[in-house]
Amino acid sequence: MAEDGSGNRNAVTDNRTTEGTARNGAAGDHTLTVTDNRTGQTYELPIEDGTIRATDLRQIKTGPDDFGLMSYDPAFVNTAACRSAITYIDGDKGILQYRGYPIEQLAERSTFLEVAYLLIYGALPTREQLDAWRDQITHHTFVHENVKDIMRAFRHDAHPMGMLVSTVGALSTFYPEAKQIQDAAAREYQTYRLIAKVPTIAAFTYRHSRGLPYVYPDNDLSYPGNFLSMLFKMSEAKYRPDPALEQALDVLFILHADHEQNASTSAVRAVGATEVDPYSALAAGVAALYGPLHGGANEAVLKMLREIGTKDRVPEFLKGVEAGERKLMGFGHRVYKSYDPRAKAIKQVADDVFQVTGVNPLLEIALELERIALEDDYFITRKLYPNVDFYSGLIYEAMGLPMGMFPVMFAIPRTAGWIAQWLEHTADEEQRIARPRQLYTGPLDLDYVPIEQRTK
């Protein structure tokens, strides 16, 4: 039994590091020796890839009727739910890699469609593969005409994310063959359709909110260029996207494409594990992303900056944050405990966009918030840094988009990550329907009380 130096007896010995005297495991074994001090029983738990299997705890019982130990981990702060080869994050070092390629190199040298291919197929495409991939996506950008009727049913002021959740889910009714999730060809076909059609639906939500006619896809344009055309084309015969904005959007899409087991990806995996079609699984992802603590934070940041109003009111606002009255939206991250590498890259994109659109006046407030927060003990001790959502909204607003569209701009590229994660989960032999346990805290064995006798 290892002592922890404080005189307390540890019930657990990590045999990978403890010298010598571990009761059962020899030092250097990849096992955990656990002694249940309720019974004096000792157990050897295998350590694999830095984890123990939660189900290995079930053998630890106080008697034959005992269910056995479970792990308790609200919000899964310290629980690996899957094995994945798609995205690697080192939160302490601020590292983000897609299939092993650093995000900085991809943002600098790749395109979103190439990155989507990389995430989904696991390797950078050859020229032929990329051309075929682009061709498939380009020729699936149209949506069924009935989709327009579905969207026309929304109120004029419907939030674009509410429209996107509903319409992505509705796509499942147009492609019943998507239910064949064990069929590789069917999975690939829905992959093309989702990557191609989400921007079309996203643009339709914007046009709906402006009371403008929907703009059909222009297959001559690039992926970001076509999206800009579907957003902003008016009476001109052919929309010509500004190359600087087209490039900036492509980089923003690359930076938002995937982020391992975030809340919306976990939702897609859990819903997908019921073997429902991918449209329904991705609608769950859109719904999760909508939340202001997740992808909705970019919209919440702009509301926060507007509320602060001027640079000189930043110190007063931060006092409220430190008093726990509110959060500094766009700051903090469950994994990154240093600067989010995407936020760094997005600041560069902001400079490029503002060259074209003019600087967003709220930028000054954002920069002052960041300057003060990064020197302030409250944020330093909690390792709170700007995340991917802190600057992105400033760019979208400068591009002419309303705040409600900001999380939609996040959902478009994250469609590629959600699909890659859904495909990986579907193929993972170890996975099955997700069904966590609970710690029951309610009453038991109550007798039914007739309503006449209920006094409260």
- Of 227, 218, 234, 142, the residue nearest 409 (C-alpha): 227
CB of 329 to ligand SDX, least distance (A): 5
Tokens 């994660």, located at residue: 421
Of 327-356, binders to ligand SDX (CB under 6 A) are 327-334
Our finding on whether 193 is near ligand SDX (CB under 6 A) is: no
**Could you give the C-alpha distances from 394 to 32, 90, 342, 402, in angstroms and in order?**
49, 27, 15, 11
Our finding on whether 268 is near ligand SDX (CB under 6 A) is: no
Dist CA 276 CA 281 (whole Å):
7
In the complex with ligand SDX, which residue's Cβ is closer, 233 or 269?
269
CB of 354 to ligand SDX, least distance (A): 22
In the complex with ligand SDX, which residue's Cβ is closer, 217 or 330?
330
The length of the chain in residues reads 456
- Specify whether the CB–CB gap between 368 and 270 falls below 8 A: no
Our finding on whether 270 is near ligand SDX (CB under 6 A) is: no
Of 388-407, binders to ligand SDX (CB under 6 A) are 388-389
- Could you please report the per-residue DSSP string of 334-375? SS-SS--HHHHHHHHHHHHHHHHH---TTHHHHHHHHHHHTT
Our finding on whether 387 is near ligand SDX (CB under 6 A) is: yes
Dist CA 168 CA 408 (whole Å):
12
Taking CB positions, which residue lies at the least distance from ligand SDX?
332
In the complex with ligand SDX, which residue's Cβ is closer, 218 or 258?
258
Of 281-310, binders to ligand SDX (CB under 6 A) are 293-295, 297
- Could you please report the per-residue DSSP string of 199-243? HHHHHHHHHHHHTPPP----TTS-HHHHHHHHHH--SSSS----H
Which listed range, 45-53, 104-112, 276-284, 322-330, lies at the site for ligand SDX (CB under 6 A)?
A: 322-330
In the complex with ligand SDX, which residue's Cβ is closer, 151 or 301?
301
CB of 297 to ligand SDX, least distance (A): 3
The yes-or-no answer on residue 333 being catalytic is yes
Out of 90, 294, 352, 428, the active site residue is 294
Other beta carbons less than 10 A from residue 139's beta carbon = 12
**Binding residue count for ligand SDX, defined by CB under 6 A:** 20
Our finding on whether 262 is near ligand SDX (CB under 6 A) is: yes
Q: Where are the strands (E) in 91-172, listed by range?
A: 95-98, 101-102
Our finding on whether 368 is near ligand SDX (CB under 6 A) is: no
Our finding on whether 269 is near ligand SDX (CB under 6 A) is: no
Q: Tell me the catalytic residues.
A: 294, 333, 389
Site residues, ligand SDX (CB under 6 A): 259, 262, 293-295, 297, 321, 327-334, 382, 384, 387-389
